[in-house]
Structure 1
Amino acid sequence: MYVKLESSRLDYIRLNQKQIRAELYQGIIDSIEISERNGSQIGRRVILPASFIGGPRDMRKRYMDAMSLVQRFGKPDIFLTMTCNPKWKEIKNELRFNDEAQNRPDLTSRIFRAKLEELKKDILKKKIFGPVAAYVYVVEFQKRGLPHAHFLIVLEPNSKISDPSTFDRYVCAEIPNKAKYRHLNELVIKHMMHGPCGTLNPKNICMLVEGKCKNHYPKQFCEYTCHDIDSYPQYRRRNDGKVEKVRGSDLDNRWVVPYNPYLLSKYDCHLNVEICSTIKAVKYLYKYIYKGHDRIAFEVRSENVNNHIDEIEKFQSARWVSAPEAMWRMYSFPLNEIYPSVITLQLHLDGKQIVSFGDCDMLEDVVNSDMKCASMLTEYFALNKVDEFARSLLYRQIPEYYVWNRQSKTWKRRKQGNVIGRIVSVSPNEGERYYLRLLLNHIKGCTSFQELKIVNGVVADSFHQAALLNRFLEADDCLESCMEEACKYQMPFALRRLFVTILSFCNPESGRQLWGNFKEQMCEDYVHLNLNIDTAEKKALKHVNEMLLAIGKSLAAFNIQYELFNVEPGVNDMLEINEELEIKASDDDVKIIKMLNEL
């Protein structure tokens, strides 16, 4: 039944691609100039908008919003996972004779929702971990159907959990004393014992191809909790002789999944609690909880090649929906939540804001309508003309003190609420739009696009020139800042692609220094494959080389991977090689070759 509902919503989006369109304002003007006066004659490909909950654009937006919390409040302190227990007494009491929980997805969904709300009260109101500054949580559904929730919690600065000596107050990874804590002992054995796997059970689901547990169980005995390098802490797991029979094997403290004794005793379910303040690359945690819906794997081959891009079809293809998820969505329970709220701010060049219009709208009326052409950015400029306080704020700070009214398309003074603003990210290869974002992140109180270009009475020809006059592009500081910001939320593959973009289009003074400063982040995916640092760097450089070779034919003779960037032919040799291959090097190619020779 839910698949019918979701398909109906997707059909509505598909059928209204032509009726309600979003087109660049500048694109509308161009269409008028070539006599395309009817709105139905212009538009975009079939897209699945971010307003569709659970779609790829929606999940990507939520991930970026969550990373904005990291930029504002710092790294999360607690990573908590709660899984539904089909044997909760609230579920069993409602089952008929000889019935099973999997036959009542309505019960499992509603009761898990109630438990989840109670858990939020314990964390946010009772403050069992301390005062919470920010949090995000996402509800997911396993293949077998049981729901589970992932929490990432950022505590107030005075309550940060950073000292290993305090970790044991919140997290335990040992089997409790059976005589003293009988109830807790039973729950740990029931819910919090991993495996067995490894030599005890080589066929366990957690076993990788190499014959190792992907969760690295059994852990090592440890007398005291201590930091681990860029990972979860090594929790106290004393060799105290406690052994319990679990699923046919004798397991000790090395097999205990970290838990909080109070929460485990109260909720009687698998409730994993980890201290994550020691993790350096927290973006992987956020990426994990916003990875999106489960999908099944299959392959269909066809001789008919269709280059048409249909985002709705891609989303529906291989979509997996379990019965509890269907009930959860039909009850309209939230799948995720973020606090404080993050407002995404529009960013566009002058005359290129997004405008919505219908098939029957005359494009001259759309162009001449101040209401339809208004955007967050244009109204920010308008607000600065009349509000002295607004002129003291950067564009990204506006949502903290003003509310965007979608109906009237104006900024109104905020009376309550706690939100933060985020300007959409931009790649350096977008040119002027990138430099516009740079200016907005540094300059307050501007009342127009033109005013952003005025520096000490001089009117710059472009935003790029304005950034130069403002000394925002001195040396490689701008590029360093760009890479630093990207490292907070982009994966290594995307970072290497950004590095290639900077080498190709931004002419850094020292490409080698830029590589040296960020090579650790650009090599992370290879390091996680258990490769040593040197091998990981070579593989990352090889990937950079392959992307550079794709720039143009004249670079095809240039091979960075003479293993490490430092055994390159000179520029003259490079041009001779090009001549031998009858390839003509452009001026841009020569610049890139010179740049890479330094590497």
Structure 2
Amino acid sequence: MALVQRFGKPDIFLTMTCNPSWKEILDELGPQEEAQNRPDLIARIFRAKLEELKDELFKREIFGKVSAYVYVIEHQKRGLPHAHFLIILQRDWKIYAPESFDEIVSVEIPDKERNLHLHKTVIRHMMHGPCGVLNPSNVCMKTNGSCKNHFPKGFASNTTVGIDCFPQYRRCDNGITVKVRGKNLDNRWVVPHNPYLLAKFDCHLNVEICSTIKAVKYLYKYIYKGHDRVAFNLIPGQNIQDIDEIQQFQSARWIAPPEAMWRIYGFILNEMYPSVYSLHLHLKDQHLNETESREINDEFAVLIPEEDLMASMSLNPEQQHAYESILQKVLLNESAAFFIDGPGGTGKTFLYKALLATVRSRNLIALATASSGVAASILPGGRTAHSRFKIPLDLDKNSTCCVSK
């Protein structure tokens, strides 16, 4: 919603679904092997197609220059992944006129003589005929085609802005029909699509124009609706008198093999551009009591041993010199680095404890960090460098620390 506030309503709602018959998938299957047996192929090839689609939308800018977008990856119960995009175009590229709608979206069966490939692709992926589902064109068909509650929209010679947040696209009564699942279907049964993208990606690829601001809440809720979930309970076979509903209750979500592979590979499940950060609200001058993080609270909660507070009075001259030099920089809030060197048993840890106690007693934060767990355990509130600075265990030239703000 922050994107809408900044850039305006979404202009295009796009859904892309994986095609298990993609050539890239079939070429990698072994003899007598089916695509459903290779969830790794489905996940990897769909991601490759998704990146190619993003290049078309955001680099080649086939719909115009983009101000912002969000997309999420979902998986059907049968396992096929699909992506939902919401795209907000720049002001000069906004889509207002029905004539502009027709340049982006088509809901007509292509001429077989002029473009055989596109004709076959529309029939294969974009004809939602008698299949018992409610398609994006508000068409409800039972398996026998006898639904009395919903009928296909009538033909329209021109595209107009509909009352349901989506346009009523041009569906010419040109007499072209195709036979799908034993039924003769015309332009009224075509799902809105972009001919270029459909011909290029050869999969179900629904493209809708968001014509009014009314679509915002529905569309954002739709793409973030989350996983399919189920609540169930387990009951033993024998009859029992006492029923503990709390113990028996189970909550689960549906994860198909392709989604499992998607997560194993570490592919992203959603993306937003530009990034939006949520800011916590607080009363005036109350931000410190409320935007304190857990790490800060943990540091303030470190106990200061009484013997460490008294340690500064027992330092030898060399320790006292280091103690005063370091503490001076801390109190003046000046950056500095010091290196304390000496053989084992000469009082380095004693000096560290004195410094930590003095700094913390002044309600300041001192981060006690050591290279090993044994050394860190000696210091009050001590942690290893790997834990404190999120240093990766396996290092290479591209390794970075993942320390949050």
TM bucket by the smaller chain? 0.5 to 0.7
Residues in 2 aligned to 1:266 and 1:235: alpha-carbon distance in whole angstroms: 22
Q: Which residue of 1 aligns with 2:302?
A: 362
2:179 matched to 1:267? no
1:212 positional shift: 3.8
Q: Which residue of 1 aligns with 2:181?
A: 247
2:32 matched to 1:98? yes
Residues in 1 aligned to 2:264 and 2:403: alpha-carbon distance in whole angstroms: 28
2:49 matched to 1:115? yes
Indicate the SS of the match to 1:368.
coil
Residues in 2 aligned to 1:144 and 1:367: alpha-carbon distance in whole angstroms: 61
Residues in 2 aligned to 1:277 and 1:334: alpha-carbon distance in whole angstroms: 29
Residues in 2 aligned to 1:188 and 1:324: alpha-carbon distance in whole angstroms: 26
Q: In structure 2, which of residues 87, 93, 98 is the aligned counterpart of residue 159 of structure 1?
A: 93
User: Does the aligned pair in 2 maintain the 1:132–1:154 contact within 8 Å?
Assistant: yes
Letter in 1 for 2:257: A
User: Does the aligned pair in 1 maintain the 2:39–2:258 contact within 8 Å?
Assistant: yes
2:61 matched to 1:127? yes
Residues in 2 aligned to 1:144 and 1:260: alpha-carbon distance in whole angstroms: 26
User: Does the aligned pair in 2 maintain the 1:232–1:279 contact within 8 Å?
Assistant: no
1:247 positional shift: 0.9
Indicate the SS of the match to 1:175.
coil
Q: Which residue of 1 aligns with 2:3?
A: 69
Aligned 1:147-546 pairs, distance under 5 A: 147-197=81-131, 202-203=142-143, 212=149, 218-298=152-232, 303-304=243-244, 317-349=251-283, 350=286, 351-356=289-294, 357-358=297-298, 361-362=301-302, 368-369=363-364, 409=405
1:280 positional shift: 1.6
2:77 matched to 1:143? yes
* Gapped regions of structure 1 (runs ≥ 5): 1-66, 373-404, 410-599
Instruction: Note closer, same or farther for the CA distance 1:297–1:247 as it changes in structure 2 (3 Å cut).
Output: farther
1:369 positional shift: 4.0
Residues in 2 aligned to 1:240 and 1:112: alpha-carbon distance in whole angstroms: 35
1:348 positional shift: 3.0
Residues in 2 aligned to 1:321 and 1:408: alpha-carbon distance in whole angstroms: 31
Q: Which residue of 2 aligns with 1:555?
A: none
1:37-84 residue CA offsets vs partner (Å, 9 max, x unmatched):
xxxxxxxxxxxxxxxxxxxxxxxxxxxxxx100010010000000000
Instruction: Note closer, same or farther for the CA distance 1:367–1:251 as it changes in structure 2 (3 Å cut).
Output: farther
Residues in 2 aligned to 1:277 and 1:345: alpha-carbon distance in whole angstroms: 31
User: Does the aligned pair in 2 maintain the 1:233–1:278 contact within 8 Å?
Assistant: no
Letter in 2 for 1:103: N
User: Does the aligned pair in 1 maintain the 2:231–2:251 contact within 8 Å?
Assistant: no
User: Does the aligned pair in 2 maintain the 1:76–1:152 contact within 8 Å?
Assistant: yes
Instruction: Note closer, same or farther for the CA distance 1:233–1:279 as it changes in structure 2 (3 Å cut).
Output: farther
1:367 positional shift: 10
Letter in 2 for 1:352: E
Instruction: Note closer, same or farther for the CA distance 1:98–1:408 as it changes in structure 2 (3 Å cut).
Output: closer
RMSD of the TM alignment (CA)? 3.2
Residues in 2 aligned to 1:367 and 1:230: alpha-carbon distance in whole angstroms: 63
Residues in 2 aligned to 1:371 and 1:223: alpha-carbon distance in whole angstroms: 74
User: Does the aligned pair in 2 maintain the 1:200–1:249 contact within 8 Å?
Assistant: no
Letter in 1 for 2:293: V
Q: Which residue of 2 aligns with 1:375?
A: none
Indicate the SS of the match to 2:184.
strand
1:466-525 residue CA offsets vs partner (Å, 9 max, x unmatched):
xxxxxxxxxxxxxxxxxxxxxxxxxxxxxxxxxxxxxxxxxxxxxxxxxxxxxxxxxxxx
Residues in 2 aligned to 1:367 and 1:175: alpha-carbon distance in whole angstroms: 77
Letter in 1 for 2:169: Y
Letter in 2 for 1:135: Y
User: Does the aligned pair in 2 maintain the 1:75–1:277 contact within 8 Å?
Assistant: no
Identity of aligned residues (%): 60
Instruction: Note closer, same or farther for the CA distance 1:136–1:155 as it changes in structure 2 (3 Å cut).
Output: same
Q: Which residue of 2 aligns with 1:476?
A: none
Q: Which residue of 1 aligns with 2:319?
A: none
User: Does the aligned pair in 1 maintain the 2:71–2:270 contact within 8 Å?
Assistant: yes
Residues in 1 aligned to 2:186 and 2:404: alpha-carbon distance in whole angstroms: 64
Indicate the SS of the match to 2:155.
coil
Residues in 1 aligned to 2:187 and 2:42: alpha-carbon distance in whole angstroms: 31
* Gapped regions of structure 2 (runs ≥ 5): 133-138, 236-241, 305-359, 368-400
User: Does the aligned pair in 2 maintain the 1:80–1:150 contact within 8 Å?
Assistant: yes
Indicate the SS of the match to 1:95.
coil
Indicate the SS of the match to 2:103.
coil
Indicate the SS of the match to 2:277.
strand
1:141 positional shift: 0.2
Instruction: Note closer, same or farther for the CA distance 1:93–1:305 as it changes in structure 2 (3 Å cut).
Output: closer
Paired residue total? 299
Letter in 2 for 1:326: A
Indicate the SS of the match to 2:112.
coil
1:406 positional shift: 9.2
1:165 positional shift: 1.8
Residues in 2 aligned to 1:324 and 1:408: alpha-carbon distance in whole angstroms: 32
1:361 positional shift: 4.5
Indicate the SS of the match to 1:343.
coil
Indicate the SS of the match to 1:109.
helix
User: Does the aligned pair in 2 maintain the 1:162–1:278 contact within 8 Å?
Assistant: no
Residues in 2 aligned to 1:150 and 1:253: alpha-carbon distance in whole angstroms: 24
